[in-house]
Homo-oligomer: A and B are copies of this chain.
Amino acid sequence: MQDKEFQVGRASIQFPEGPRIIGRASVVGKKEGEGPLGDCFDVIEPDPMVGCENWEDAESALQKETADLAIEHAGLVRSEVRYLFSGDLLGQLIATSFGTVDLEIPVFGLYGACSTAGEALCLGAMIVEAGYADYIMAMASSHFASAEKQFRFPLEYGNQRPLSASWTVTGCGAFLLGRQGGHVRISGITPGKIVDMGLKDSMNMGACMAPAACDTICRNFEDFDRRPEDYDKIITGDLGVVGQKILLDFMKSNGYDISDRHMDCGIEIFDRDSQDTHAGGSGCGCSAAVLAGYILPKLESREWRRVLFIPTGALLSSTSFNEGKSVPGIAHGVVLERC
């Protein structure tokens, strides 16, 4: 029986040692490679089908490629990874199921919409820190075309998109966690609860997710007794420009000004003017690839010392949308620190 040194506040966990991120990899599509962060990613896949016959298989191929690259970067082999925490946006997680079967690693399939990278890191960090595994892998992917097919319209239909809509990132990020090595540790987590403000616009998911992001960030501040200035950056997943504005307003109404240190992976990954991506990038692969390719290197180089990373998810399906349901949000917080 252990004591409760891990638990802080209502929902957060602090890690005395902090599992280390000992390997990371990002693989993205052509459009992401042409964006402002293009140079940051490990691999840019020129073929949107990734050599496969359909979009879902293409996304599976992204997962497999990213997983193997991350394992290689960590200096491990597949059989040394005890558990895999992975997910995607597709119904019944088929990108994950078919993408990870060859790894032969026991897998926990996760669904947190675009917050899945955060969910995977939260769970993986707890499992490694407690000694349940020497090494685990956390991974999340999305693919523009498989997501459009899943949630919106066939690409061939050529529908118009409102300016509040986001552009699903084709990409995958994978992370190896271990107890030694690496330069960045997960020092704490704040798993999020579902927040439903009754918003129903699936073409404005930033607005749907902003309240959940606000809830998790405020919870993190409260649980750890911190202020915005305790973080070099506070980085959400894919709120986009519409959601960012709402988040900053919500945070101010809660007494916190994070406008000087807020960053959103969805805003960073595309050039809004030249890439026609409207509110910004989205999808589980967005925050996962940006974490692997851009955020972690900034921590490794000591440009940033401590970052709050909050992937954000909009919980809807085409069924729930067609039934007129709202789009609840969820956001999981991960505190990353330079060792």
Binding site for B on A (CB under 8 A): 1-7, 11, 13, 17, 53-54, 56-57, 82-83, 87, 89-94, 97-98, 100-101, 104-113, 119, 122-123, 126-127, 129-134, 149-150, 179, 191-196, 315-320, 323, 325, 328, 330
Contacts and interface: CB of A to CB of B under 8 A. Distances in A.
A104 B191 CA distance: 12
A7 B132 contact: yes
A5 B131 contact: yes
Contacts of A330: 97, 107, 109
Nearest to A113: B92
A323 B92 CA distance: 14
Given A11-B82, A132-B6, A196-B101, A106 B191 contact: yes
Q: Which 9 A-B pairs have the closest CB atoms?
A: A91-B91, A130-B130, A2-B131, A92-B317, A97-B315, A106-B191, A109-B111, A101-B194, A94-B320
Contacts of A97: 194, 315, 320, 328, 330
B94 A131 contact: no
B315 A94 contact: yes
B108 A191 contact: yes
A67 to B, nearest CB: 13
A94 B130 contact: no
B98 A320 contact: yes
Nearest to A323: B54
Contacts of A323: 53-54, 56-57
A110 B107 contact: no
Given A56-B319, A90-B319, A323-B54, A193 B126 contact: no
Contact of A92 (B54, B130, B193, B315): B315
A91 B196 contact: no
A83 B189 CA distance: 13
Contacts of A131: 1-7
Contacts of A82: 7, 11
Given A7-B131, A193-B104, A119 B123 contact: no
A217 to B, nearest CB: 14
A98 B193 contact: no
A196 B60 CA distance: 15
Contacts of A109: 110-112, 119, 330
Given A126-B127, A325-B98, A111 B92 contact: yes
Contacts of A5: 131
A109 B97 CA distance: 16
B91 A108 contact: no
A17 B1 CA distance: 7
Nearest to A99: B194
